[in-house]
Amino acid sequence: MKARKFVVGGVAAAAALIGGGVAWATWTASGSGTGSALAYTAQTVTLNAVALNSSSASLFPGGPAGNVYFTVTNPNPYPIKITNIAWGTPTSANPSACANSVISVDAGAPTSGFNITVAANGTSAAVQVNSVLDLSSSATDACQGNAFNVPLTVTGQQLP
- Domains detected in the chain: 46-158 (2.60.40)
Summarize pLDDT for 66-101 with one digit per residue, the tens.
999 999 999 999 999 999 999 999 999 999 999 999
Give one DSSP letter per residue of the chain, joined into a string. -HHHHHHHHHHHHHHHHHHHHHHT--------------PPPPPPPEEEEPP--GGG----TT-SPEEEEEEEEE-SSS-EEEEEEEE---EESSTTTS-GGGEEE-TT---EEEEEEE-TTEEPPPEEEEEEEEE-TT--GGGTT--EE--EEEEEEE--
Q: pTM, whole model, 2 decimals?
A: 0.79
d(C-alpha 77, C-alpha 57), whole Å = 35
What pLDDT does 149 receive? 97
pLDDT digits (tens, 9 = 90+) for 10-56: 555 555 555 555 556 889 999 999 999 999 999 999 999 999 998 89
pLDDT at 3 over 60: no
pLDDT at 22: 53
